[in-house]
Structure 1
Amino acid sequence: MKQRSLMILGALLLTLFLVACGGTPGNTSEKTSGINVPVSETDFHIDSALTSFSPGTRYHFVVTNHGKTVHEFMIMPSSQGSMGGMSMDDMDHMALASLGNLNPGETRTLEYTFPSSSAGSHPELACYLPGHYEAGMKQSVAVIS
Protein backbone atom coordinates (compact mmCIF):
# COMPACT_ATOMS: atom_id res chain seq x y z
CA MET A 1 0.00 0.00 0.00
CA LYS A 2 2.80 2.38 0.92
CA GLN A 3 4.66 1.63 -2.35
CA ARG A 4 1.54 2.35 -4.40
CA SER A 5 1.02 5.68 -2.62
CA LEU A 6 4.63 6.63 -3.38
CA MET A 7 4.13 5.76 -7.08
CA ILE A 8 0.99 7.90 -7.26
CA LEU A 9 2.75 10.76 -5.50
CA GLY A 10 5.69 10.45 -7.93
CA ALA A 11 3.39 10.53 -10.95
CA LEU A 12 1.57 13.55 -9.53
CA LEU A 13 4.86 15.40 -8.91
CA LEU A 14 6.06 14.61 -12.45
CA THR A 15 2.80 15.92 -13.90
CA LEU A 16 3.06 19.12 -11.84
CA PHE A 17 6.68 19.55 -12.95
CA LEU A 18 5.74 19.21 -16.64
CA VAL A 19 2.89 21.68 -16.28
CA ALA A 20 5.09 24.19 -14.41
CA CYS A 21 7.75 23.96 -17.14
CA GLY A 22 5.20 24.34 -19.89
CA GLY A 23 6.08 20.97 -21.30
CA THR A 24 3.87 18.19 -22.42
CA PRO A 25 4.92 14.99 -24.12
CA GLY A 26 5.25 15.53 -27.85
CA ASN A 27 5.35 19.35 -27.59
CA THR A 28 9.09 19.95 -27.41
CA SER A 29 9.90 20.43 -31.10
CA GLU A 30 11.62 23.68 -32.09
CA LYS A 31 9.55 23.66 -35.27
CA THR A 32 6.30 23.99 -33.32
CA SER A 33 7.34 25.99 -30.25
CA GLY A 34 9.92 28.29 -31.80
CA ILE A 35 13.32 29.65 -30.96
CA ASN A 36 13.87 33.00 -29.27
CA VAL A 37 16.28 35.27 -31.16
CA PRO A 38 17.39 38.26 -29.09
CA VAL A 39 18.08 41.26 -31.34
CA SER A 40 19.63 44.48 -30.07
CA GLU A 41 19.29 47.75 -31.94
CA THR A 42 21.50 50.68 -31.01
CA ASP A 43 22.40 53.95 -32.70
CA PHE A 44 23.28 52.67 -35.42
CA HIS A 45 23.84 48.94 -35.30
CA ILE A 46 21.82 45.71 -35.31
CA ASP A 47 23.11 42.67 -33.45
CA SER A 48 21.23 39.35 -33.63
CA ALA A 49 22.13 36.47 -31.31
CA LEU A 50 21.60 34.11 -34.28
CA THR A 51 22.79 34.66 -37.82
CA SER A 52 21.98 31.23 -39.30
CA PHE A 53 18.38 30.10 -39.61
CA SER A 54 16.66 26.90 -40.74
CA PRO A 55 13.65 26.88 -43.05
CA GLY A 56 10.46 25.64 -41.43
CA THR A 57 11.51 26.61 -37.90
CA ARG A 58 9.50 29.26 -36.09
CA TYR A 59 11.63 32.10 -34.75
CA HIS A 60 10.60 34.67 -32.14
CA PHE A 61 12.70 37.76 -32.88
CA VAL A 62 12.79 39.63 -29.56
CA VAL A 63 13.88 43.09 -30.68
CA THR A 64 14.99 45.70 -28.14
CA ASN A 65 15.84 49.27 -29.03
CA HIS A 66 18.80 50.14 -26.81
CA GLY A 67 19.40 53.36 -28.74
CA LYS A 68 18.41 56.92 -28.03
CA THR A 69 16.33 57.33 -31.19
CA VAL A 70 13.42 55.49 -32.81
CA HIS A 71 14.33 52.46 -34.95
CA GLU A 72 12.46 49.83 -36.94
CA PHE A 73 13.20 46.17 -37.65
CA MET A 74 12.82 44.56 -41.06
CA ILE A 75 13.74 41.16 -42.44
CA MET A 76 14.54 41.82 -46.08
CA PRO A 77 14.85 39.01 -48.67
CA SER A 78 18.47 40.02 -49.40
CA SER A 79 20.76 42.99 -49.07
CA GLN A 80 18.91 45.84 -50.71
CA GLY A 81 21.56 48.50 -50.20
CA SER A 82 20.53 52.10 -49.80
CA MET A 83 16.91 52.54 -50.86
CA GLY A 84 16.86 56.31 -50.38
CA GLY A 85 14.34 57.08 -53.14
CA MET A 86 11.87 54.33 -52.20
CA SER A 87 8.79 54.97 -50.05
CA MET A 88 8.37 53.16 -46.74
CA ASP A 89 5.23 51.47 -48.14
CA ASP A 90 7.28 50.02 -51.01
CA MET A 91 9.95 48.81 -48.56
CA ASP A 92 7.29 47.23 -46.35
CA HIS A 93 5.94 45.32 -49.37
CA MET A 94 9.46 44.02 -50.12
CA ALA A 95 10.08 42.94 -46.51
CA LEU A 96 9.62 39.33 -45.48
CA ALA A 97 8.49 40.64 -42.08
CA SER A 98 8.78 43.88 -40.15
CA LEU A 99 8.09 45.75 -36.97
CA GLY A 100 7.18 49.41 -37.16
CA ASN A 101 8.81 52.07 -35.05
CA LEU A 102 10.37 50.95 -31.78
CA ASN A 103 10.86 53.72 -29.27
CA PRO A 104 14.04 53.89 -27.16
CA GLY A 105 13.89 51.19 -24.47
CA GLU A 106 11.00 49.36 -26.16
CA THR A 107 11.02 45.59 -26.77
CA ARG A 108 8.69 43.87 -29.22
CA THR A 109 8.49 40.36 -30.64
CA LEU A 110 8.15 39.36 -34.27
CA GLU A 111 7.39 35.75 -35.17
CA TYR A 112 8.67 34.53 -38.50
CA THR A 113 9.27 31.17 -40.18
CA PHE A 114 11.60 31.16 -43.17
CA PRO A 115 9.93 29.14 -45.96
CA SER A 116 11.68 26.12 -47.49
CA SER A 117 12.16 28.13 -50.68
CA SER A 118 14.51 30.47 -48.78
CA ALA A 119 17.15 27.75 -48.15
CA GLY A 120 20.53 28.98 -49.35
CA SER A 121 19.49 32.64 -49.26
CA HIS A 122 21.11 35.52 -47.40
CA PRO A 123 18.41 37.80 -46.00
CA GLU A 124 19.26 40.96 -44.14
CA LEU A 125 18.05 42.41 -40.86
CA ALA A 126 17.78 46.17 -41.30
CA CYS A 127 16.40 49.52 -40.23
CA TYR A 128 15.44 51.72 -43.18
CA LEU A 129 14.45 54.86 -41.36
CA PRO A 130 16.11 57.78 -43.19
CA GLY A 131 19.89 57.54 -42.86
CA HIS A 132 19.87 54.56 -40.47
CA TYR A 133 20.75 51.87 -43.02
CA GLU A 134 23.54 54.02 -44.42
CA ALA A 135 24.87 54.54 -40.86
CA GLY A 136 25.23 50.75 -40.40
CA MET A 137 21.87 49.41 -39.22
CA LYS A 138 22.02 46.12 -41.08
CA GLN A 139 23.13 42.57 -40.45
CA SER A 140 23.43 39.83 -43.05
CA VAL A 141 22.12 36.42 -42.04
CA ALA A 142 21.86 33.04 -43.78
CA VAL A 143 19.09 30.49 -44.23
CA ILE A 144 20.65 27.04 -44.28
CA SER A 145 19.04 23.67 -44.70
Structure 2
Amino acid sequence: MFLRNRLVLAACLLALNSSVWASPAQTYNFGQPAPAAKASRSVEVVMGDMSFTPKAIDIKAGETIRFVLVNKGQLLHEFNLGDAAMHAEHQQEMLKMQQSGMLTPTAMKEMDHGSMAGMEDSSQGHGMKHDDPNSVLVPPGKTAELTWTFTKAANLEFACNIPGHYEAGMVGKLTVSQ
Protein backbone atom coordinates (compact mmCIF):
# COMPACT_ATOMS: atom_id res chain seq x y z
CA MET A 1 0.00 0.00 0.00
CA PHE A 2 2.80 2.43 0.94
CA LEU A 3 4.64 1.78 -2.35
CA ARG A 4 1.46 2.19 -4.41
CA ASN A 5 0.70 5.56 -2.77
CA ARG A 6 4.25 6.76 -3.48
CA LEU A 7 3.92 5.68 -7.13
CA VAL A 8 0.62 7.53 -7.50
CA LEU A 9 2.17 10.63 -5.90
CA ALA A 10 5.20 10.43 -8.21
CA ALA A 11 2.94 10.05 -11.27
CA CYS A 12 0.90 13.09 -10.21
CA LEU A 13 4.02 15.19 -9.72
CA LEU A 14 5.37 14.18 -13.13
CA ALA A 15 2.05 15.07 -14.77
CA LEU A 16 1.97 18.47 -13.10
CA ASN A 17 5.54 19.26 -14.17
CA SER A 18 5.11 17.99 -17.71
CA SER A 19 5.56 20.63 -20.41
CA VAL A 20 2.67 18.98 -22.26
CA TRP A 21 0.33 19.98 -19.44
CA ALA A 22 2.08 23.28 -18.72
CA SER A 23 1.67 24.83 -22.16
CA PRO A 24 -1.61 23.97 -23.87
CA ALA A 25 -1.98 24.87 -27.53
CA GLN A 26 -3.10 28.45 -27.89
CA THR A 27 -6.31 29.07 -29.78
CA TYR A 28 -7.31 32.28 -31.52
CA ASN A 29 -10.93 33.33 -31.86
CA PHE A 30 -10.22 35.12 -35.17
CA GLY A 31 -8.66 32.22 -37.06
CA GLN A 32 -5.76 29.82 -37.31
CA PRO A 33 -2.50 29.24 -39.16
CA ALA A 34 -2.76 27.64 -42.59
CA PRO A 35 -0.38 26.21 -45.18
CA ALA A 36 0.72 28.71 -47.85
CA ALA A 37 -0.79 26.48 -50.56
CA LYS A 38 -4.28 27.22 -49.13
CA ALA A 39 -3.89 31.01 -49.51
CA SER A 40 -6.51 32.76 -51.63
CA ARG A 41 -4.18 35.76 -52.03
CA SER A 42 -0.85 37.20 -50.92
CA VAL A 43 -0.31 40.53 -49.21
CA GLU A 44 3.18 42.04 -49.10
CA VAL A 45 3.98 44.00 -45.95
CA VAL A 46 7.19 46.05 -45.95
CA MET A 47 8.79 46.67 -42.57
CA GLY A 48 10.84 49.83 -42.27
CA ASP A 49 12.40 50.99 -39.06
CA MET A 50 9.26 51.75 -37.04
CA SER A 51 6.79 51.49 -39.93
CA PHE A 52 4.63 49.06 -41.87
CA THR A 53 3.51 49.57 -45.47
CA PRO A 54 0.59 49.26 -45.95
CA LYS A 55 -0.80 50.70 -42.69
CA ALA A 56 -4.19 48.99 -43.15
CA ILE A 57 -5.34 45.69 -44.66
CA ASP A 58 -8.94 44.64 -45.43
CA ILE A 59 -9.84 40.95 -45.45
CA LYS A 60 -13.07 38.97 -45.80
CA ALA A 61 -14.01 36.35 -43.20
CA GLY A 62 -13.11 32.92 -44.57
CA GLU A 63 -10.12 34.19 -46.54
CA THR A 64 -6.70 32.61 -46.17
CA ILE A 65 -3.99 35.24 -46.57
CA ARG A 66 -0.30 34.63 -47.21
CA PHE A 67 1.54 37.59 -45.68
CA VAL A 68 4.93 38.15 -47.32
CA LEU A 69 6.98 40.17 -44.82
CA VAL A 70 9.95 42.13 -46.15
CA ASN A 71 12.20 43.78 -43.55
CA LYS A 72 13.93 46.72 -45.27
CA GLY A 73 14.96 48.22 -41.94
CA GLN A 74 18.14 47.95 -39.90
CA LEU A 75 16.43 46.30 -36.89
CA LEU A 76 14.76 42.99 -36.08
CA HIS A 77 10.97 43.32 -36.46
CA GLU A 78 7.95 41.22 -35.65
CA PHE A 79 4.69 40.72 -37.51
CA ASN A 80 2.04 39.68 -35.00
CA LEU A 81 -1.71 39.31 -35.59
CA GLY A 82 -4.11 40.04 -32.73
CA ASP A 83 -6.22 42.57 -30.90
CA ALA A 84 -4.87 45.39 -28.75
CA ALA A 85 -5.12 43.31 -25.55
CA MET A 86 -3.11 40.44 -27.09
CA HIS A 87 -0.44 42.89 -28.22
CA ALA A 88 -0.22 44.47 -24.76
CA GLU A 89 0.29 41.03 -23.19
CA HIS A 90 2.83 39.98 -25.83
CA GLN A 91 4.77 43.24 -25.36
CA GLN A 92 5.39 42.25 -21.73
CA GLU A 93 6.73 38.84 -22.85
CA MET A 94 9.01 40.51 -25.40
CA LEU A 95 10.29 42.92 -22.74
CA LYS A 96 11.27 39.94 -20.55
CA MET A 97 13.07 38.40 -23.52
CA GLN A 98 14.97 41.65 -24.08
CA GLN A 99 15.86 41.97 -20.38
CA SER A 100 17.17 38.39 -20.35
CA GLY A 101 19.49 39.08 -23.30
CA MET A 102 17.56 36.72 -25.56
CA LEU A 103 16.27 39.55 -27.76
CA THR A 104 18.77 42.00 -29.26
CA PRO A 105 18.11 44.92 -31.63
CA THR A 106 18.95 42.78 -34.66
CA ALA A 107 18.32 39.14 -33.65
CA MET A 108 16.71 36.60 -31.37
CA LYS A 109 19.43 34.55 -29.66
CA GLU A 110 19.11 30.85 -29.09
CA MET A 111 19.16 30.39 -25.33
CA ASP A 112 20.37 27.40 -23.34
CA HIS A 113 17.20 26.44 -21.48
CA GLY A 114 19.28 25.39 -18.47
CA SER A 115 20.54 28.95 -18.12
CA MET A 116 17.00 30.27 -18.14
CA ALA A 117 16.16 28.93 -14.69
CA GLY A 118 14.10 31.45 -12.80
CA MET A 119 13.14 33.27 -16.01
CA GLU A 120 10.06 31.16 -16.60
CA ASP A 121 6.89 33.15 -17.09
CA SER A 122 4.62 31.53 -14.54
CA SER A 123 1.52 33.32 -15.84
CA GLN A 124 1.91 31.51 -19.16
CA GLY A 125 3.30 28.28 -17.72
CA HIS A 126 6.24 28.03 -20.09
CA GLY A 127 9.77 29.26 -20.54
CA MET A 128 10.50 32.18 -22.83
CA LYS A 129 10.41 31.42 -26.51
CA HIS A 130 9.02 33.09 -29.59
CA ASP A 131 6.91 30.42 -31.24
CA ASP A 132 3.34 31.71 -31.39
CA PRO A 133 1.66 30.70 -34.67
CA ASN A 134 0.23 34.23 -35.16
CA SER A 135 3.67 35.83 -35.09
CA VAL A 136 6.95 35.81 -36.98
CA LEU A 137 10.27 37.60 -36.43
CA VAL A 138 12.02 39.01 -39.49
CA PRO A 139 15.73 39.91 -39.26
CA PRO A 140 17.02 43.01 -41.09
CA GLY A 141 17.25 42.51 -44.85
CA LYS A 142 15.28 39.24 -44.75
CA THR A 143 11.85 38.08 -45.93
CA ALA A 144 9.49 35.75 -44.08
CA GLU A 145 5.93 34.51 -44.48
CA LEU A 146 2.90 33.92 -42.29
CA THR A 147 -0.27 32.34 -43.67
CA TRP A 148 -3.51 32.70 -41.75
CA THR A 149 -7.17 31.78 -42.25
CA PHE A 150 -9.48 34.43 -40.82
CA THR A 151 -12.65 32.72 -39.63
CA LYS A 152 -14.85 35.61 -38.52
CA ALA A 153 -15.32 39.36 -38.72
CA ALA A 154 -13.03 41.26 -36.35
CA ASN A 155 -11.13 44.49 -35.86
CA LEU A 156 -7.53 43.44 -35.36
CA GLU A 157 -4.05 44.87 -35.55
CA PHE A 158 -0.80 43.68 -37.04
CA ALA A 159 2.06 44.93 -34.92
CA CYS A 160 5.70 44.71 -33.98
CA ASN A 161 5.85 44.07 -30.24
CA ILE A 162 9.61 44.40 -29.84
CA PRO A 163 10.00 46.86 -26.94
CA GLY A 164 9.40 50.41 -28.13
CA HIS A 165 8.40 49.54 -31.70
CA TYR A 166 4.60 49.47 -31.20
CA GLU A 167 4.80 52.73 -29.24
CA ALA A 168 6.84 54.29 -32.06
CA GLY A 169 4.00 53.56 -34.51
CA MET A 170 4.81 50.09 -35.79
CA VAL A 171 1.18 48.96 -35.83
CA GLY A 172 -1.45 48.68 -38.56
CA LYS A 173 -5.19 48.04 -38.82
CA LEU A 174 -6.46 44.68 -39.98
CA THR A 175 -10.20 44.69 -40.69
CA VAL A 176 -11.91 41.36 -41.26
CA SER A 177 -15.43 41.86 -42.64
CA GLN A 178 -18.25 39.42 -43.39
TM-score (norm 1): 0.64
Structure 2 CA distance for aligned equivalents of residues 52 and 68 of structure 1? 28
- CA separation of 1:49/1:36 partners in 2, compared to 1, >3 Å: closer, same or farther? farther
Are positions 1:53 and 2:86 aligned together? Answer: no
Bigger Cα Rg: 1
Structure 1 CA distance for aligned equivalents of residues 174 and 39 of structure 2? 22
- CA separation of 1:83/1:136 partners in 2, compared to 1, >3 Å: closer, same or farther? farther
Match of 2:139 in 1: 103
Match of 1:79 in 2: 84
Structure 2 CA distance for aligned equivalents of residues 127 and 112 of structure 1? 17
- CA separation of 1:64/1:50 partners in 2, compared to 1, >3 Å: closer, same or farther? same
**What letter matches 1:136 in structure 2?**
G
Structure 1 CA distance for aligned equivalents of residues 65 and 80 of structure 2? 14
- CA separation of 1:124/1:50 partners in 2, compared to 1, >3 Å: closer, same or farther? closer
Q: How many residues align?
A: 107
Quote the RMSD (CA, aligned, Å). 2.7
Structure 1 CA distance for aligned equivalents of residues 39 and 50 of structure 2? 32
Gaps of 5+ in 2: 1-37, 95-120
Identical counterparts, % of pairs: 32
What displacement does 1:49 show? 7.8
What displacement does 1:47 show? 1.8
For CA contacts below 8 A with separation 6 or more, give which structure has more relative contact order: 2
Gaps of 5+ in 1: 1-31
Runs of 4+ in 1 over 4 A off after TM superposition: 81-85
8 Å Cα contact 2:56/2:173 also seen in 1: no
Structure 1 CA distance for aligned equivalents of residues 175 and 133 of structure 2? 14
Match of 1:13 in 2: none
